[in-house]
Amino acid sequence: MRKVKLEKDIVKGILNDLLKRSPVNYGTYTETVNAIVDDIKNRKDEALFEYTKNFDNADVNASNILVTNEEIEEAFSLVGSDLVETMEKAAANIREYHEKQRQYSWFDYKEDGSILGQKVSAIYSAGVYVPGGKAAYPSSVLMNIIPAKVAGVKELIMCTPPSKEGKVNPGTLVAAKIAGIDRVYKVGGAQAIAAMAFGTESVPKVDKIVGPGNIYVALAKKAVYGYVSIDSIAGPSEILVLCDDCATPKYVAADLLSQAEHDELASAILVTTSERVADEVNKEIEGFLKTLSRSEIIKKSLDNYGYILVADDLDMAIDVVNEIAPEHLEIVTKDPFNTMTKVRNAGAMFLGEFSSEPLGDYFAGPNHVLPTNGTAKFFSPLSVDDFIKKSSIIAFSKEALENASEDIIKFAEAEGLTAHANSIKVRFNK
């Protein structure tokens, strides 16, 4: 990894490099994706089955697009019992964490007879997209489905691409069943997003679509936003480790590589106040690359988006963290909890050298669907909040409205909206 002494211009250059990875910048694919979305919207199942044949080489039709109970049972037989038990433990942790995010309706009663409040309701239906093939991650299945179930979503479906034999990844099916999915459909890509957004004869329309995917999936979610809600348009994975001289270089190196192995566009950045740690982390990375199975991918990721940034002091280092706003942030300093209070922008924070990032990916409980490409400045991790909506409640008695009537009329007339004012006046005209 390239080691750089921190300066403002350096940070700007890094940010520009990282932002180039965002799906919103992949305009060359937009026309293709929009054509698929429009075709599904117009021809529904007919187009859906054609794209599945063309892209996945699978013969899917109205009679076999829905995963059966027998296929789910087969998936459990193909996944080892040890892994099933691990998924169940992880699901329990994820469920327990998200239960604490529940919100409840409230009402405020006043003596004049007015009632103000907020009614919290779950979104009625949601769709979860899950990639297939080499990018099948059961952990993401748990992370997307469980918050929706905790929120109380009534109809929760999942779309995932089938193999050419018409099968769904067994690990994906097992995780979906453990998490509580209602139905699973064998369809992937931009066509699956469009099917859930507009509905076809086989796939129902939903109110919100969540879940990761490739550039076609990301752009399809962008295209259907407004017809349905979406979680976000996620970019490649990223990790930033913030540390001082107390960090163990071997641990830091291992954690940086844990994200760099995702793909060539993944980002791994070390920000440290210690020249010694910077140099030793680089040496440890070289050693790990000789043994890791995905070393070729890691090398490309580090060559393109890997940095070791050396800061003069911790305050400068924290400023850089807030500017980059990383998806995953590990804080390995003498007092990580105090350092954490100064960080404004990060998707998830891991405090101390034994809070390794994969702990969050798989097992701890907080959601691993996180804002990327600097969007942690204004977005939050996927949560129960993503599957609820709020309605304002207003109930006034005659006395309460009369007390407020003059102020309402003044406001309405000041804006030139006489019908608004009249709506109040007619109730109190002698």
Catalytic residues: 327-328
Cβ atoms within 10 Å of 427's Cβ, excluding its own: 11
For residue 78, give both structure tokens.
């193909």
For residue 220, give both structure tokens.
């399809």
Contact in structure between 379 and 371 (CB atoms under 8 Å): yes
∠ CA 161-259-190 to the nearest 5 degrees? 25
Sequence-ordered list of residues with C-beta below 8 angstroms from that of 389, at least 6 positions apart, any chain? 120, 121, 122, 123
**Whose CA is closest to 127, among 70, 176, 76, 175?**
176
∠ CA 25-26-31 to the nearest 5 degrees? 125
Q: What span, in angstroms and rounded, lies between the C-alpha atoms of 10 and 44? A: 49
**Whose CA is closest to 179, among 191, 171, 189?**
171
Q: What span, in angstroms and rounded, lies between the C-alpha atoms of 268 and 128? A: 28
DSSP bridge pairs for 225 = 228
Cβ atoms within 10 Å of 300's Cβ, excluding its own: 16
Contact in structure between 219 and 186 (CB atoms under 8 Å): no
Q: Strand, coil or helix: what is 57? A: coil
Q: Which residue has the tokens 């469980």?
A: 146
Sequence-ordered list of residues with C-beta below 8 angstroms from that of 155, at least 6 positions apart, any chain? 124, 125, 126, 182, 204, 206
For residue 118, give both structure tokens.
């907020």
